A and B are shown apart, each in its own frame.
Chain A
Amino acid sequence: MEQLVKLIPLFPLISFALIGLLNRRLTKTHAAIFACTGVLLSFIDSVLIFVSQSSHFHPVEVSIFDWISAGNFKASFSFLLDPLSSIFLLVITGVGFLIHVFSIGYMKDDDGFRRFFAYLNLFIFFMLVLVLGNNFLVMFIGWEGVGFCSFMLIGFWFKDQKNNDAAKKAFVMNRVGDLGFLIAMCLIFFTFGTLNYTQLFQPGFMSQFSFDATTITIITVCLFIGAMGKSAQIPLYTWLPDAMAGPTPVSALIHAATMVTAGIYMVARTNVLFSMSPDTMQLVAIIGTATALLGASIGLFQNDIKKVLAYSTVSQLGLMFLALGLGAYTAAVFHVVTHAFFKALLFLGSGSVIHSMGGEQDIRKMGGLKKHMPVTYTTFLIGTIAISGIPPLAGFFSKDQILSEALSHNPTLFVLGMLVSLMTAFYMFRLFFLTFHGKFRGTHEQEHHLHESPFTMTMPLVVLSVFAAFAGFIGFPHALGEKLGIHNWFDHYLEPVLGKTASHLSLSTELTMMGVTTALVVIVILIARHFYVTKATLPMAENVERPAVQKVIYNKYFIDEFYYNFITRPLDALSAFLQNFFDNKIVNGLVNGFGQVVVKGGAFVRQLQSGNINAYAITFVIAVILIFSIFIF
């Protein structure tokens, strides 16, 4: 078993190394085969482990080598396989593999084909390290490693400065979060003397130490700041929409299915700490809800197919944090899983569309793609229904679980969560109708070029749509499940790590809630249909003056401008001031002024500046040796 665990991240690392080292000596086909095989092997490995552990889970700890130790600080490079990491392993390698396959077709004509696959493999490696790590520091390796790969892949087309800016923005914002993570690690070590999960989360371990509630609150808030950066929560979310500059498979893999859920994984992993601090939990719930609302509302007016999906991701991640904040860790992880399926599906679907449209991403210029791209159309529809939360597709179950948790905790949060899902249904169907229905609005050339994507691209779409449709049943609602005798497998499976889901609604409340939400969602979809199919309204063109509220939302609440004017620019000004005035004039001026006084009397050094350097040097060395020789004689 230990060997199997060690192998999981090793496969993609090896394929990364092979592709990286051989590079041009590999044909594109070989590079693609290496890359996909690496991830496929990890997936098979993860499945094997999963199956062998399915009856009763024995957590496995694997220590690989001592990494950093100093004094009483010890962090080994070690892995922990438990139900939580095993779920993430399956998602990462499974969805990861499909996206690798998709990329073969998508990146076929790109010069950087090999480089692309090398980065993807490296990303998978770091992501696996992130979820397998048995201490915070190993998680941090993965954490920063995926950020680095994300940087490389957002700026994959590095000749365009816009991509580079987006890449840097993503990395810098992530680093802001990472500082929180770093400080949290310092505090945890300072308080408990270890960063090791198995030790730390052992029942009764923490109670041996004396600490006050504030410490735990600070620790968890710092951890949460780390999660904000990685999982694009307010105020550190603005990098994610910009990250769409990267190739679309990257958006699907990194910026939807896996990396951005690392923050949720982290909170779930450290749930013991979070549960100890009600204040932090409240903060998490509030930030999550606010982000969900913000993302969804911006999504309503975006016209770039990928931007809509990006804001949708921001918003869905917000919902997951809402669940975490309510203590419903399992619900959050459940939504991570279903979201990975349908959002990867949607992104890949958008990739298929963009591919067919010759790079066009503006939905105002699409329309009527249904008849040209039947597979993409059908699978995209499944994804759209799934994310909108219509039973019995996957998104329904996970969203329902979050909403029912909200309902039993706090009606306000429930209403807001509901609002988010209604907006989601609207912007997704808006996107869907504008893209696939109605008349084609692009150029004649584009229309001529329209085609269904090749098999390597449609196959992943089909597989993902199957999961997006049926994966929800692993987490069947409790009350209804009891009635029907369907067990909530997912909750039960994660119980050893995440604890029992506390609140259960009564059967009647649960059914009413499901009925009402579903009905509302259907109404919203019909409204969207009315606007975008029946009346065939088009979103406004870029240059049209919008009504005030819409203008604010369309411009993403001017948050980017706010950051630029109130953070970036003042800091640049400070830097310039320090350099040009303070450093040059004041500090250096003082030193020079003082120096002047000394120099007056010390002209002797100048005399050394001429003459034969060799002669001086030899004299000097001999003198040195003479001085030292005194003791010998």
Chain B
Amino acid sequence: MLTLLLILIPLFSSIMLFAFGRNHAKAIAFTASVAELAVAFATLNAVQTGQAALLNIDMPWLADIGIRFHINTDGISMLMVLLSTLLMPLIMYASFNRNYNNLHTLYGLMFLMQGSIIGSFVAMDGFLFYLFWEIALIPIYFIILMWGGNNRQKVTFKFFIYTLFGSLFMLVALIYVYLQTPDRSFDIQALYAAGRQLPVVEQAWVMAAFFLAFAIKMPIFPFHTWQPDTYYVAPTPGVMMLSGIMSKMATYGLIRWVLPMVPQGIEEYGYILIVLSVISILYASFISIVQKDFKYLIAYSSIAHMGLISAGIIACNAQSLQGSLMEMLSHGINTVGLFFVFDIIFLRMGTSEMKQLGGIRGLDSSFAFLFFIIVLSVVALPFTNGFVGEFLLIIGLFQANAIAASFAGLSIILGVVYMFRSYQTMMLGETNQLTAGFTKLTMQEKITLIIIVTLIIGLGVYPKIVLGITESSVQTLLQGIQ
């Protein structure tokens, strides 16, 4: 019941907003997102106390072709749900005092997105997962199209087509495995069983097809070219949803649908994906170094981080999986933070080209301080959430492939080069004509950043609250594979 509520609240809120939200968009949206968060905590409680009855719904739906409405929340899904429900009120709150036209529609679309993303996190039926996966694409398409910056038509079109294109491969693979099930079922366990019985080479093909869809969504090299431009034109709430939450559908999908379905394929051919992911890390890190615009920098650095998560998932051991889950949460929090910093600067200065900025630290030192903590987390300094995830990922990846892990480790050096460079260029030095007019943060902006920074340090010092949520589910998953 709780699991269903997690999907229904956002959907219901979006209808409310579309239909009646014109005048009270902020109030409705914020209340709803907080209510959703409350339900998520209730769900967490149910997960930790093992109240399966509250979590699991399994009903026949399109019975003729073996599709069931099966949703459930285990530890892994739970963390993903927390990620999306935790960030949602924050993203909403961050967008207050930013004058978007038709705010109620924007919020409505965001809820629609949240509902379908959560749906994909709790779906335990292959078809259902695919359905939610595709539905989630539509609202973000409209968000960027309606509220985006210059050149949005072209960019969104490419984004839409590219991701849709990738998903088709996943659909084909899903149907292929579905056809192998003895009684034609899309149920997750049936698909697992059927997948595992496939010959290794076929497993590898299934893996490849899924990975293509996921690689585009994350994104990783060489399937990333839609991402920087899309992030660039997207309005801040949209890009926060996209990078903070939506990209995690792909990495979650790898854990939930690929690892247990085609374990031998992963074992035999997974190294190819690891190599690809590590190339992606380095490639994106290098490109980040020469970025001139802060928003593009966030976009490319995001590719680097997603690459590490992807490599860790394929490495498939307790450390790397726990690390990847931790890092998904951290990456969500951190990118929302970074994009908010971008928003603050862009709103005041009208540009995010780093060279034009400078000296802001002298005008608002608390802003610089908060921003810098986010930077520290991005470069994975111990006692930030970013460190916990990256450390576990690297130590986990190391056990699967020491050389890949060492190369992936280079990102801790390159990360400092590009993140510190951008921080120093924008915040330090002397002010110039443009930045002299930088006004101090408003209370609302400060609060948003303080929440983010508190999460960064809190989870960095005591990550157990997160790692504890996923621990037993990761164990179960790994046992299932062996």
Contacts and interface: CB of A to CB of B under 8 A. Distances in A.
Given A591-B162, A613-B105, A631 B69 contact: yes
Contacts of B474: 70-71
Given A68-B392, A145-B383, A164-B424, A179 B287 contact: no
Given A175-B412, A624-B135, A70 B318 contact: yes
Given A591-B225, A631-B69, A572 B409 contact: no
A159 B429 contact: yes
B145 interface: yes
A159 B317 contact: no
B178 to A, nearest CB: 19
A598 B131 CA distance: 23
B108 interface: yes
Contacts of A168: 416, 420-421, 424
A179 B410 CA distance: 7
A576 B286 CA distance: 8
A73 B392 contact: yes
B199 interface: no
B56 interface: no
A620 interface: yes
A502 interface: no
A64 to B, nearest CB: 11
A199 B365 CA distance: 45
Interface residues of A, number: 67
A375 B61 CA distance: 89
Interface string B224-249: 11100000000000000000000000
B304 to A, nearest CB: 13
A618 B161 contact: no
Interface stretch (A184-192, A299-307, A444-452): A184-192
B138 interface: yes
A211 B416 CA distance: 34
A68 B430 contact: no
B92 interface: no
A125 to B, nearest CB: 11
A588 B160 CA distance: 15
A614 B283 contact: no
B11 A579 contact: no
A568 B322 CA distance: 35
B52 interface: no
Contacts of A71: 317-319, 322, 474-475
B429 A161 contact: yes
A576 B290 contact: yes
B53 interface: no
Contact of B429 (A141, A145, A158): A158
- Chain A interface, DSSP helix/strand/loop, else mixed: helix
Interface residues of B, number: 85
A595 interface: yes
Interface stretch (B80-88, B329-337, B443-451, B462-470): B462-470
A587 B280 CA distance: 13
Contacts of A575: 286-287, 289-290
Interface stretch (B202-210, B261-269, B397-405): B397-405
A171 B420 contact: yes
A108 B425 CA distance: 29
A70 B392 contact: yes
Contacts of B19: 618
B27 interface: no
Contacts of B161: 595, 598-599, 602, 605
B326 to A, nearest CB: 8
Contacts of B11: 621, 624-625
B395 A186 contact: yes
Q: Which of A179, A572, A574, A599 has the most CB of B within 10 A?
A: A179
B391 interface: yes
Contact of B406 (A183, A592, A620): A183
A148 interface: yes
Interface string A579-601: 10001000110011001001100
Given A70-B323, A70-B392, A588 B225 contact: yes
A617 B18 contact: yes
Contact of A613 (B61, B142, B319): B142
B31 to A, nearest CB: 19
A70 B319 contact: yes
Contacts of B430: 159
A176 interface: yes
Given A70-B392, A613-B105, A583 B225 contact: yes
B173 interface: no
Given A68-B388, A140-B382, A613 B146 contact: yes
Nearest to B359: A159
B158 interface: yes
B432 to A, nearest CB: 12
A179 B409 CA distance: 6
Nearest to B283: A578
Given A70-B322, A159-B430, A182 B105 contact: no
A624 B111 CA distance: 13
Contacts of B394: 182, 186
A155 interface: yes
Contacts of B421: 168
B319 A578 contact: no
A144 B381 contact: yes
B135 A155 contact: no
A214 interface: no
A148 B428 CA distance: 16
B201 interface: no
Contacts of A592: 158, 225
A543 interface: no
Contacts of B109: 617
A595 B159 CA distance: 11
A617 B290 contact: no
A562 interface: no
B165 interface: yes
Contact of B138 (A161, A583, A620, A627): A620
A189 B395 contact: yes
Interface string B412-430: 1100110011001000111
B14 interface: yes
Given A179-B410, A624-B135, A68 B391 contact: yes
A60 interface: no
A563 interface: no
Q: Which of A578, A599, A602, A621 has the most CB of B within 10 A?
A: A621
Nearest to A152: B372
A211 to B, nearest CB: 14
Given A179-B409, A595-B158, A68 B467 contact: yes
A73 B395 contact: yes
Given A145-B383, A164-B428, A575-B286, A72 B409 contact: no
Given A71-B317, A182-B409, A614-B105, 17 more contacts: A65-B464, A144-B382, A159-B429, A160-B429, A179-B409, A179-B413, A182-B394, A186-B402, A189-B395, A571-B289, A575-B289, A579-B286, A587-B224, A592-B158, A595-B162, A599-B161, A618-B18
Interface of A: 65-73, 137, 140-141, 144-145, 148, 155, 158-161, 164, 168, 171-172, 175-176, 178-179, 182-183, 185-187, 189-190, 571-572, 574-576, 578-579, 583, 587-588, 591-592, 595, 598-599, 602, 605-606, 609, 613-614, 616-618, 620-621, 624-625, 627-628, 630-631
19 contacts: A68-B463, A70-B323, A70-B396, A145-B383, A158-B429, A164-B428, A172-B413, A178-B412, A183-B409, A186-B398, A186-B405, A187-B402, A575-B287, A587-B224, A592-B225, A617-B139, A620-B138, A630-B61, A630-B62
Q: Give the 7 A-B residue pairs with the shortest CB-CB distance, closest first.
A: A71-B318, A70-B322, A186-B398, A631-B61, A141-B382, A588-B225, A158-B428
